[in-house]
Amino acid sequence: MHYWINQFLATPDQPGGTRHIDFAARLRRQGVPVELVASDFNLTARRYTRRGGGGSIRPVTEEVDGVPVHFLWAAPYRGNDWRRYANMVSFGAAVGAFLSRAPVVADTVFIGSSPSLLAAQAAAFAAAFRGVRFVLEVRDLWPESLIEVSGRDGAVARVLRRIADDLYRRADRIIVLAEGSIGPIVDRGIDRGKIVCVPNSVDPAQFATPSSYPDVTLRADRFCAIYAGAHGAANDLDTLVEAARLLQEGGNDRVQIVLVGDGPEKPRLVGRVRSQKLGNVTFLDPVPKAAIPGLFSRCHAGILVLRDLPLFRYGVSPNKLFDYMAAGLPVVTNVPGECTDIITRAGCGVCVAPGNPRALADGLAALAGDPTATARGAAGRRHVLEHFNRDNLVGRLRNVILGTQRGPA
């Protein structure tokens, strides 16, 4: 039995990426018995999803798409204050307690995912205690992400750096989602040979026949460009809102910008749009992952924006990019580096300068007026199904797990 720990795992009935559910289901169909461990406190909804409240701390186990998922208790929080750290610490403690008792066999592997380094550390300690192998999955580079987004390299970052370095050394194998993440890990003195890239990807069946989506305020006479994802400090949504203002003031009534999701910046962004009377911006509540293809089928382009930070040029693998491409949407992005390279190779979008509202507005306007936009979206779909197809990448993940097996000491 193998245990894959991701504090922020999302199931198809929730907003967020379903990478772990999708891969685990495929692994089990290939005879690799994987079980998932996650927090029951949902990152987006800020509430418990599998228990009536925070009173019970017992694990709740549920089968999702044929995969046993163990939902563990973690302390609740609302904003990015000390309570969020308490959430991470409590989940790490719950992981340690769960894995110390979980059934293991001769070839068990514990897989711990970042960015929750405390949970990954708990998995590493439990693996050492139980005498089984440990694999680290680096979904986001920490503390690099914390330092660049917050601009602070203080005590917390130094502690996280020590934890990350320890995890790199302890791990028998390291999975990264972006090729650009390999270099910074090697620079910490880690052998390149134990690192493998298994990028974010798409489930081709999910986008083959999009499900229906309830009616929302999407005007049929507009070119609807959608941003789907977190509304946080790293996402550069002020630049997107400013681009909308420039489009409206310039008399461009063709483009409608749709933002779906949630995050700490959303209330302020909604207030800004209202105060500036921007009629070309629509906010939607988060939707379950299963509803994303249906929503995207009503749109004409996808938007990928991030702050202009060095890390985002090499160390990110955004789910939304691959989902846009799988839905056949051309993409407008201001993220240089690896994301721009993917879009350029696929020939499926417009890449503009980061942090520049005018460039983003011009890119959206250009795509809205491009008669080849639909063909570019189709090219993106072909590219993502060829190179970022979960059905193909599962074999790479299977080899990582089977190649690191070792019996208890």
Q: Write the pLDDT tens digit of every residue in 329-379.
A: 999 999 999 999 999 999 999 999 999 999 999 999 999 999 999 999 999
3-class state of residue 296 by DSSP = helix
Q: DSSP class of residue 73?
A: P
Provide φ and ψ at 333, rounded to 5°: -135, 150
Name the H helices within 102-216.
117-130, 144-150, 155-170, 182-186, 204-208
User: Are residues 183 and 281 part of one domain?
Assistant: no
Range of the domain at 9: 2-201+389-403
Structure tokens, 196:
């493998």
Residue 300 lies in a domain: yes
For residues 107 and 111, what is the distance between their CA atoms, to the nearest angstrom?
13
Residue for token pair 């089984």: 132
Specify whether the CB–CB gap between 314 and 337 falls below 8 A.
Answer: yes
Give residue 153's pLDDT: 83
pLDDT at 54 over 70: no
pLDDT at 407 over 50: no
pLDDT confidence tier of residue 221, bands split at 50, 70 and 90 = confident
Residue 408 lies in a domain: no
User: Are residues 246 and 221 part of one domain?
Assistant: yes
User: Are residues 124 and 10 part of one domain?
Assistant: yes
Residue 409 lies in a domain: no
Return the H-helix or E-strand segment holding 247. helix 237-249
Residue 142 lies in a domain: yes
Residue 364 lies in a domain: yes
User: Are residues 379 and 269 part of one domain?
Assistant: yes
Specify whether the CB–CB gap between 325 and 202 falls below 8 A.
Answer: yes
Specify whether the CB–CB gap between 349 and 372 falls below 8 A.
Answer: no
Residue 232 lies in a domain: yes
Tell me the pairing of strands 301-304 and 331-333: parallel
Give residue 238's pLDDT: 97
User: Are residues 180 and 79 part of one domain?
Assistant: yes
User: Are residues 47 and 133 part of one domain?
Assistant: yes
pLDDT at 313 over 90: no
User: Are residues 167 and 55 part of one domain?
Assistant: yes
pLDDT (mean) for 140-162: 87
User: Against a cut of 0.85, is the pTM above it?
Assistant: yes
User: Are residues 378 and 259 part of one domain?
Assistant: yes
pLDDT at 406 over 80: no
User: Are residues 172 and 45 part of one domain?
Assistant: yes
pLDDT confidence tier of residue 409, bands split at 50, 70 and 90 = very low
Q: How many domains does the chain have?
A: 2
Angle between helices 338-346 and 373-387 (to 10 degrees): 110
Q: What would you measure as the largest C-alpha separation in the chain, in angstroms?
A: 70
User: Are residues 149 and 256 part of one domain?
Assistant: no
Task: Residue 239: name the closest of 150, 344, 329, 364 by CA.
Answer: 364
Residue 261, sorted as left (phi over 0), alpha (psi -120 to 50) or beta, turns out to be: left
Structure tokens, 354:
């980061």
Residue 185 lies in a domain: yes
Structure tokens, 128:
């050492």
Residue-averaged pLDDT of the chain: 91
pLDDT (mean) for 31-58: 84
Q: What pairs with residue 284 in β-bridges?
A: 260
User: Are residues 190 and 87 part of one domain?
Assistant: yes
Output the domain CATH number for residue 50.
3.40.50.2000
User: Are residues 397 and 381 part of one domain?
Assistant: no
pLDDT (mean) for 162-188: 95
3-class state of residue 14 by DSSP = coil
pLDDT digits (tens, 9 = 90+) for 191-206: 999 999 999 999 988 8
